[in-house]
Amino acid sequence: MDYIIILGLNHKTAPVELRECLAFSGEETDALLRSFSEHAAIKESILVSTCNRVEILLTSPDSDAAIGAAKRFISEYKRIPVSRFEESLYIHQGDDAIRHIFRVAASLDSMVVGEPQILGQIKEAYRTAALKRTSGVILNRLLHKTFFVAKRVRSETGIGDHAVSISYAAIELGRKIFGSLEGMRVLLIGAGEMAELAVEHLIRHRSGDIFVANRTFERGIELARRFRGTAIRFEEIGGMLQKVDIIISSTGSPEYVIDRKMVKAAMGGRKHRPLFFIDIAVPRDIDPRINRMDNAYVYDIDDLKGVIDENIEDRNREAVKAERIIDAAVVSFRKWYESLDVVPTIKALRGKMAEIARSEVEKTLGILHHLSEADAEAIHRMTEALINKMMHDPTIFLKNNGCLRDKAYYVDITRRLFNLDPAELSGSGARPGDSQHRTEEEL
Amino acid sequence: MMQLFSMAALFLYLLSTAGYVSYLFLQKDVLHRAGWGLLGAGFLANLAAILYEFIAAGRFPVGNLQETLSVAACTLAGLFLVFQHRYRLRVLGVYAAPLAALIMSVSVRLPKAPSQMEIVFNNFWIIFHVVVIFIGNAAFALAAGAGILYLMQESAIKGKNHGFFFHRLPSLNLLDTVGYASIVVGFTMFTLGLITGFLYAKMVWGRFWSWDPKEVWSGVMWLFYAALLHERLATGWRGRKAAIMSIVGFGVLLFTFLGVNFLLTGHHGAFTRW
């Protein structure tokens, strides 16, 4: 019986300096998987490598040898002594390993709980392993179950609800004000990473024209080109308030860039359509009293942080529900996994045949009234002998198959061929293209 | 028989309310669908009760308060079903369903008094008059509901307090749009109702206007909503102000509909007698 082993490290156990040393590129992944498949103690393998984690999934009849080999390979490929990363490594086996991969895929183990990218990354890793044929019966089943569990967690809990980054929280607020952001015109005042990220999010939500105002006009032109927008002069901001709907401000200005008078002047001209101010600057650029005016909404950086904190708390509460789903899934997977053992499979097969024989013989004896007790006994003995003869070769084959493929494969085939698990585990396949939506949270 | 249909309608409205309220808390799609379906079933039962009475008595059943409220509940439910279909503003169900249930529950408790109308309700104009006025009133009721939700959502956004309602209520824009659409529908229907009322008055009493208190208050109400729409179109009165005004307008409507009949007298009195 092969063991399921997972070894890895993540943002909690290893600092970024170490994680970046151990990140595997596509080619390195291929090479490592090849080495794994050539190693005697390793049957199946999958490697997941992201900027926040490295996870190696293995099955092996000899877990110590497999773990040792895995460490050695990492050390060789990344040219780093085992002692440097051994401390940060966690190793799980059996149920713990199953639970770990479920939790990782469901994003319970992520830096920000509930961020969806990790699932796509695992799918990608699985696809690589499947193409290289380094994953087999057990890991195929495990990964399909993993995707299924992750999907269930996402749809049945609120773990992925509500934004947890500043820029995305601003988008979510915008949608609560405007409904759809499509066609909303945006004014970016100043520059800065967070502000620019917010603009990018807006563009992804198909916002309308982008205007950029900067103290240095040249810098404004540069930014405007990046967003395919229009640069305007700082003095034009007041007039611009009539045209735009969303204002993102991030300047180093010590006093307010937009005050109440400007907004009041603009409101009539824009027929009181709502104005949404996102003030990322410290000190603030937008007079907070504007928030008290009708149809004007101001969120500063602290407000947005407050929103995020609430949302993170929400997610953590939902994570408890997710753990319950995962616990149940671990149990159901283990059931299947244990069934891969040869002895219970042979027992189940024999049981099934005996059951069929018994009911058929009884049916026949029911019609043949003229047979004596001894005759009936003889028929019973004959069917038993039949079963024994028929079971002989399959049993020998399953118990000591000298074949190239591993035992689990044949046990699985046997169980399916004779339908020994009528209530099949449900699973979902990996879909290509799920991993494209990468954001800043897990790269 | 009519009583049976009315009770069924009330029962279904109450179930629909339960569906929408549990949707508000649990956010499961199946719940609001159930709420919608139950409200639809309630609407049909309610309609059956009205039609039955219409056929049995041979007149449009708005001769006493019990009948009038039944018609009011029916139009409210029907109009909400249409709005929900058009705007997908599910959460408004937590307002519309209980309101229909409340109106219906008052209606079924009232004794079934014989109609005290001298006029027979078979004239086309009077039926049209009554029906469009009720649809208009139902639309104004929905506008007030959308206004209430708007104010709740706005205070959540402005107060930066993203609790229970923030996540459950739709965008301000949608609430504002639905409120506006309700008022447009309400105003159109109400205006048609007033015109047919004038025509009918001319036919029966020989004059368009007779300073009946109900007429006066309807005039006040019409001017109020006309002002609201005018401000919106001319200067873009939207959002908070529009929401508050649609709630106030509904208050005027309630007074016109019920208060006038209880406190003052006039030729519309019999509608609400019991």
For A432, the token pair is: 């290509």
Q: Look at the alpha carbons of A311, A317, A321, A322 in this order and tell me if their dihedral is positive or negative.
A: positive
| Residue B274 binned pLDDT confidence (cut-offs 50, 70, 90) | very low
As a whole number of angstroms, the distance between CA A201 and CA A386 comes to 71
What's residue B104's pLDDT?
87
Say if the Cβ atoms of A292 and B158 lie within 8 Å.
yes
What's residue B125's pLDDT?
78
Residue B117, domain member (yes or no) = no
Per-residue pLDDT of chain A (443 residues; tens, 9 = 90+): 788 999 999 989 998 888 888 888 888 999 999 999 999 889 999 999 988 899 999 999 889 999 999 999 999 988 899 998 888 999 999 999 999 999 999 999 988 888 888 999 999 999 999 999 999 889 999 999 999 999 999 988 888 877 778 888 888 899 999 988 999 999 999 888 888 888 888 898 888 899 999 888 888 898 899 999 999 998 889 899 999 999 999 888 888 999 999 999 998 888 889 999 999 888 899 999 999 998 999 999 888 888 888 888 888 888 999 999 999 999 999 888 887 778 788 888 999 999 999 999 989 888 888 888 898 889 989 999 999 999 988 888 887 765 556 677 888 888 889 888 776 444 433 333 333 333 333 34
For residue B65, the domain's CATH number is 1.20.120
Nearest to B236 among A272, A299, A307 (CB): A272
Instruction: Read off the DSSP letter of residue A5.
Output: E
Task: Report chain B residues touching chain A, CB-CB < 8 A.
Answer: 153, 157-158, 160, 162, 166-167, 170-174, 235-241
Say if the Cβ atoms of B158 and A273 lie within 8 Å.
no
Which residue range forms the structural domain that includes residue B81?
1-112
Does residue B215 contact residue B261 with C-beta atoms inside 8 Å?
no
Say if the Cβ atoms of B173 and A271 lie within 8 Å.
no
Residue B139, domain member (yes or no) = yes
**B134 and B267 inside one domain:** yes
Q: How distant is the Cα of B163 from the closest Cα of chain A, in angstroms?
A: 9
Nearest to B172 among A162, A176, A299 (CB): A176
Say if the Cβ atoms of A295 and B153 lie within 8 Å.
no
Q: Is residue B184 scored above 90 in pLDDT? A: yes
**B76 and B206 inside one domain:** no
Q: Please report residues of B whose CB lies closer than 8 A to that of A292.
A: 158
For A314, the token pair is: 């929400």
Q: Please report residues of A whose CB lies closer than 8 A to that of B172.
A: 176-179, 274
Q: Which residue of chain A comes nearest to B240, CA vs CA? A: A294
How many other C-beta atoms can be found within 10 angstroms of the C-beta atom of residue A331? 11
Say if the Cβ atoms of B167 and A162 lie within 8 Å.
yes
How many other C-beta atoms can be found within 10 angstroms of the C-beta atom of residue A75? 17
What's residue A428's pLDDT?
39
Q: Which residue of chain B comes nearest to A277, CA vs CA? A: B158
Q: How distant is the Cα of B161 from the closest Cα of chain A, in angstroms?
A: 8
Q: Please report residues of A whose CB lies closer than 8 A to that of B168.
A: none
Choose the CATH number for A166-308 among 3.90.230.10, 3.40.50.800, 3.40.50.720, 3.65.10.10. Answer: 3.40.50.720
CATH topology of domain A3-156: Beta Polymerase; domain 2 (3.30.460)
Q: Please report residues of A whose CB lies closer than 8 A to that of B157.
A: 173, 176-177, 297
Grouping H, G, I as helix, E, B as strand and the rest as coil, residue B41 is helix
pLDDT digits (tens, 9 = 90+) for B16-67: 999 998 988 888 888 888 989 999 999 999 999 888 888 887 777 777 778 8
* Complex confidence, ipTM: 0.82
Task: Specify burial of residue B158 (Cβ count, 10 A radius: 0-12, 13-18, 19+).
Answer: middle
**B163 and B256 inside one domain:** yes
Q: Which of A18, A23, A41, A51 is catalytic?
A: A51
**B143 and B50 inside one domain:** no
Residue A51 falls in the annotated catalytic set: yes
What's residue B189's pLDDT?
94
| Residue B267 binned pLDDT confidence (cut-offs 50, 70, 90) | low
Task: Report chain A residues touching chain B, CB-CB < 8 A.
Answer: 161-162, 173, 175-179, 268, 270-274, 291-292, 294-295, 297, 299, 303, 306-307, 310
Q: Is residue B3 scored above 50 in pLDDT? A: yes
Say if the Cβ atoms of A299 and B160 lie within 8 Å.
yes
**pLDDT top residue among A212 and B127:** A212
Q: Which residue of chain A comes nearest to B159, CA vs CA? A: A291
Taking the alpha carbons at both ends of chain B, their separation in whole angstroms is: 20
As a whole number of angstroms, the distance between CA A172 and CA A72 comes to 47
Give the number of domains in chain B: 2
Give which of A128, A174, A106 is closest to A321, Cα–Cα. A106
Helix B29-57 to helix B65-87 angle (10° resolution) is 140
Kind and range of the H or E element at A394?
helix A373-399
Q: Give Cα separations from B9 to A70, B68, B73 (angstroms).
A: 70, 15, 9
As a whole number of angstroms, the distance between CA A387 and CA A43 comes to 33
Q: For chain A, which residues make up each domain, given as ranges?
A: 3-156, 166-308, 342-417
What's residue A258's pLDDT?
92
Q: Which residue of chain A comes nearest to B231, CA vs CA? A: A271
Q: Please report residues of A whose CB lies closer than 8 A to that of B166.
A: 176
The whole-number average pLDDT for the span B117-123 is 58
**B90 and B133 inside one domain:** no
What's residue B176's pLDDT?
92
What's residue A16's pLDDT?
87
- Count the alpha carbons within 13 Å of A395 in the hemisphere toward its beta carbon: 13
**B149 and B187 inside one domain:** yes
Say if the Cβ atoms of B173 and A178 lie within 8 Å.
yes
Nearest to A272 among B166, B173, B238 (CB): B238
Nearest to A176 among B157, B239, B241 (CB): B157
Computed over every residue of chain A, the mean pLDDT equals 87
Say if the Cβ atoms of B158 and A297 lie within 8 Å.
yes
What share of chain B in percent tops pLDDT 70?
Answer: 91
Nearest to B173 among A179, A292, A310 (CB): A179
What's residue A401's pLDDT?
62
Say if the Cβ atoms of A176 and B171 lie within 8 Å.
yes
**B14 and B86 inside one domain:** yes
Q: Is residue B131 scored above 70 in pLDDT? A: yes
Rg (CA), chain A: 31
**B134 and B250 inside one domain:** yes
Give which of B21, B34, B241 is closest to A267, Cα–Cα. B241
Q: How distant is the Cα of A292 from the closest Cα of chain B, in angstroms?
A: 8
Say if the Cβ atoms of B171 and A178 lie within 8 Å.
yes
Kind and range of the H or E element at B105?
helix B93-109
Does residue A387 contact residue A346 with C-beta atoms inside 8 Å?
no
